[in-house]
A and B are shown apart, each in its own frame.
Chain A
Amino acid sequence: MSAVGTSYYDRKGILGTLGRDGLLQIILIANSIIMLAPIVIMIFSAFKTTPQIFQSPFGFPDLTQVGNFVKIWTQTNFLRYLLNSFVVTGASMVLILTLGTMAAYALGRYAFTGAGFILMFFVAGLTLPLKLAIIPLFMLMRDLSILNNQLSLIFVYTAMGLPTTIFIMTGFIRTLPNELEDAARMDGASEARIMWSIMLPLVRPAMVIAGIQNVVPIWNDFFFPLVFIQNDALKTLPQGLTTFMGEYTTDWGVLFSGLTLSAAPIIVIYIVLSRQFIAGMTSGAVK
């Protein structure tokens, strides 16, 4: 960059370059303000009473004023929803990563008849919008007697997450070297033992990417609970939020703190792991 860059700056003039970069910098700063302002206003408002929000929506709040949060903690089912979201997301992730690794390992490590076809079968599921199959899914869950049961969500999320996971992980597992595996095989290790103790530890980076790609949409999903779950005690967080927002329509302080609490877990994890999040969530679109 530097050598060519110098001649480039010389020819174009330092002012022209500064002007261009200055414009780009202004665009970026303006955009970041637009991206962050709604979130900052949401968090600020969570610490205000409703009259305070109406009078000074942008003012810095008194952060010791946590009455709204106490109300949510004590008067709503919020904790229940949060716990449900953890259970459903956690169980789905365990199933996705276990089953996904199994299939990807078989497809990526062994040559067998039909492997290409099976991979195609999985990958075909990548682009299908499963929302449109909600009527047969509803009937299927009814026939399995798991309507109004979190298993219905866990099963759908697992099936939805498998194609991307298998796609990402098969590609990764294929690139792993053969030497370790062959050496272990010569020492008489079983196939299961080779997979568990030798190959799986190497697969972790791909598991993280596949995991993040699936965990965010599952944690945030609203559509499937809307159709499958009626019982308030079983609702997940996004769905519970609709119940809760309907109950407190006029108490804006409580509404904003409910939104803040719902957003907090994922915002905190995102800020800590932003690199992995960005890589994971765009991995389907970036080759």
Chain B
Amino acid sequence: MPKLRMTGRGLWITALIVPPLAFVALFVVYPIISAFAYAFFDWQGLKRGAFVGLDNFHTVLFVEPYRSWTLNAFKNNIIVFFALMVLQNGLGFILAYALWRELPGARFHRIAVFLPVVLSTIIVAYLFKLFYHPLFGVVNITLRNVGLGWMAQPWLGQSGTALWSIIAAQAWHMVGFPTLVFLAGMQRIPGEILDAVRMETESEWVKISKIVWPLVAPSATIVFTLLFVGAFNWFELPYIMGGLDGSPFGSTDVLGLYFYRTAFGNVSAGQQDFGLGSALAVLIFLFIAVIASVITVRLRAREIQI
């Protein structure tokens, strides 16, 4: 009798666990492993050709014009990451600190700062594309109205401003996320610690740099890592606002866009290459995995257990 019960229980657990396991295995694990395998073959359209070893990697890293494209996209990703580190995470920390004071209206401000986060990136991209319009966009209209007409310019149309304009849209879209993660971190700081600090110092700066910042380190680890992964996967905003080619002149090209264009780009013009695309995917994947682990480990070491 006990033996039978055990089998019944085993069957029950198996029935619970196998369907979800199968889903993740088929649609997450198998494709990721295959992505590595694909990169070592030559591809003609959707047909897999001969095994070519590291040729695809060599091409995207060292053969022109791929080499310049890869470097240019990578450079832009670096800019995006550091710019968002300041505009998104830095601003997010300041806003979180302001919200933490629970001043009048804090609830309203908290809801407002997170509102753009729930919008689809595609809506945000088109909205800002209309706002940046050289003649009729509200950005230039506002500048002209306040007497700064000389600053009005085709924001998305010139290499010098296009990427920064898209970064600004991204920061608007997502600043609420680090804000509320930092806020949750600050709210977990025990009251006794804060009271003790108030006895010791009057300086707001000392309080922030010596107490609040170190104590929200776990939140910082998470938002830094997520921002890093997000910045190097960036796709939707540049795709809608800059176009598939990263216009103008590749100034808004990023790795996600470049990878998509290489893999699926232009099927009719025969510019589709799954081999090179997979090689890029593997390189981006390894880069993200290695750096994200380093960031996580180094930042974890900084965290203090309360």
Residues of A with Cβ closer than 8 Å to B?
Answer: 1, 4, 8, 11-12, 20-21, 24-25, 27-29, 31-32, 34-36, 38-39, 41-42, 53-54, 57-58, 95, 99-100, 102-103, 105-107, 110, 112, 118, 121-122, 125, 127-140, 142, 155-156, 158-160, 162-163, 166, 191-192, 216, 219-220, 222-223, 227, 237-239, 241-242, 245, 252, 255-256, 259, 262-263, 266-267, 270-271, 274, 277-278, 281-282, 285-287
With a cutoff of 8 Å between Cβ atoms, the chain A residues found around residue B150 in the complex are none
| B101 and A24 contacting across the interface, CB-CB below 8 Å | yes
User: What string of 1s and 0s marks CB contacts (under 8 Å) between B204-237 and chain A?
Assistant: 1000000000000011001100100100010110
Residue with the greatest number of chain A CB neighbours at <10 A, chosen from B9, B114, B118: B118
Least Cβ–Cβ distance between B135 and chain A, in angstroms: 8
With a cutoff of 8 Å between Cβ atoms, the chain A residues found around residue B127 in the complex are 38, 42, 259
With a cutoff of 8 Å between Cβ atoms, the chain A residues found around residue B109 in the complex are 28-29, 31-32
Bound together, the chains give a CA A31 to CA B111 distance in angstroms of 12
Between-chain CB contacts (< 8 Å), 19 pairs: A24-B101, A24-B103, A25-B103, A130-B32, A135-B38, A136-B34, A136-B35, A155-B23, A159-B23, A162-B23, A163-B24, A191-B9, A242-B122, A256-B130, A278-B110, A281-B114, A282-B177, A282-B181, A287-B218
| A237 and B120 contacting across the interface, CB-CB below 8 Å | yes
Taking A135-B278, A262-B123 as contacts, is the C-beta distance between A129 and B118 under 8 angstroms? no
Least Cβ–Cβ distance between B70 and chain A, in angstroms: 15
Bound together, the chains give a CA A277 to CA B240 distance in angstroms of 26
| A35 and B17 contacting across the interface, CB-CB below 8 Å | no
Bound together, the chains give a CA A120 to CA B276 distance in angstroms of 31
Least Cβ–Cβ distance between A167 and chain B, in angstroms: 12
Least Cβ–Cβ distance between B59 and chain A, in angstroms: 16
Which chain B residue has the least Cβ–Cβ distance from A157?
B27
Which chain A residue has the least Cβ–Cβ distance from B108?
A32
Least Cβ–Cβ distance between B15 and chain A, in angstroms: 8
Least Cβ–Cβ distance between A109 and chain B, in angstroms: 9
| A285 and B219 contacting across the interface, CB-CB below 8 Å | yes
| A106 and B130 contacting across the interface, CB-CB below 8 Å | no
User: What string of 1s and 0s marks CB contacts (under 8 Å) between B259-299 and chain A?
Assistant: 11001100000000010011001001100100010000000
| A132 and B138 contacting across the interface, CB-CB below 8 Å | no
| B123 and A35 contacting across the interface, CB-CB below 8 Å | no
| A106 and B13 contacting across the interface, CB-CB below 8 Å | yes
Least Cβ–Cβ distance between A124 and chain B, in angstroms: 8
Least Cβ–Cβ distance between B95 and chain A, in angstroms: 6
With a cutoff of 8 Å between Cβ atoms, the chain A residues found around residue B115 in the complex are 35-36, 39, 267, 270
Which chain A residue has the least Cβ–Cβ distance from B107?
A274
Which chain B residue has the least Cβ–Cβ distance from A270?
B118
Bound together, the chains give a CA A281 to CA B256 distance in angstroms of 24
Taking A31-B109, A32-B113, A133-B281 as contacts, is the C-beta distance between A140 and B27 under 8 angstroms? yes
With a cutoff of 8 Å between Cβ atoms, the chain B residues found around residue A133 in the complex are 28, 31-32, 34-35, 281
| B118 and A277 contacting across the interface, CB-CB below 8 Å | yes
List the 5 closest pairs (A to B, CB-CB), nearest first: A159-B27, A136-B34, A220-B120, A133-B31, A106-B16
With A103-B20, A155-B23, A160-B27 known, 9 other A-B pairs at CB within 8 A are A12-B202, A34-B172, A125-B24, A130-B28, A222-B121, A238-B120, A238-B123, A259-B126, A285-B223
With a cutoff of 8 Å between Cβ atoms, the chain B residues found around residue A237 in the complex are 120
Q: Is the interface of B mostly helix, strand, loop or mixed?
A: helix
Q: Identify which of A27, A42, A287 contacts B94 (C-beta below 8 A).
A: A27
Per the CB 8 Å criterion, the residue count for chain B at the interface is: 93
With a cutoff of 8 Å between Cβ atoms, the chain A residues found around residue B21 in the complex are 103, 118, 121-122
| A252 and B103 contacting across the interface, CB-CB below 8 Å | no
Bound together, the chains give a CA A29 to CA B172 distance in angstroms of 15
Bound together, the chains give a CA A25 to CA B97 distance in angstroms of 11
Q: B180 within 8 Å of A by Cβ?
A: yes
Q: B78 within 8 Å of A by Cβ?
A: no
Q: Identify which of A129, A252, A282 contacts B180 (C-beta below 8 A).
A: A282
Taking A39-B115, A130-B28, A159-B26 as contacts, is the C-beta distance between A192 and B34 under 8 angstroms? no
With a cutoff of 8 Å between Cβ atoms, the chain B residues found around residue A220 in the complex are 119-122
With a cutoff of 8 Å between Cβ atoms, the chain B residues found around residue A21 in the complex are 101, 103
Q: B106 within 8 Å of A by Cβ?
A: yes
Bound together, the chains give a CA A129 to CA B13 distance in angstroms of 29
Q: B198 within 8 Å of A by Cβ?
A: yes
Bound together, the chains give a CA A246 to CA B106 distance in angstroms of 40
| B233 and A241 contacting across the interface, CB-CB below 8 Å | no
| B223 and A192 contacting across the interface, CB-CB below 8 Å | no
Least Cβ–Cβ distance between A158 and chain B, in angstroms: 6
Taking A24-B98, A222-B121 as contacts, is the C-beta distance between A125 and B233 under 8 angstroms? no
Q: B117 within 8 Å of A by Cβ?
A: yes
With a cutoff of 8 Å between Cβ atoms, the chain A residues found around residue B198 in the complex are 4, 8
| A274 and B114 contacting across the interface, CB-CB below 8 Å | yes
| A54 and B123 contacting across the interface, CB-CB below 8 Å | no
Residue with the greatest number of chain A CB neighbours at <10 A, chosen from B32, B38, B105, B256: B32
With a cutoff of 8 Å between Cβ atoms, the chain A residues found around residue B13 in the complex are 106, 110, 112
| A99 and B99 contacting across the interface, CB-CB below 8 Å | no
Which chain A residue has the least Cβ–Cβ distance from B105?
A28
Q: B116 within 8 Å of A by Cβ?
A: yes
Taking A135-B274, A163-B24 as contacts, is the C-beta distance between A252 and B136 under 8 angstroms? yes
Q: Identify which of B8, B229, B277 contacts A129 (C-beta below 8 A).
A: B229
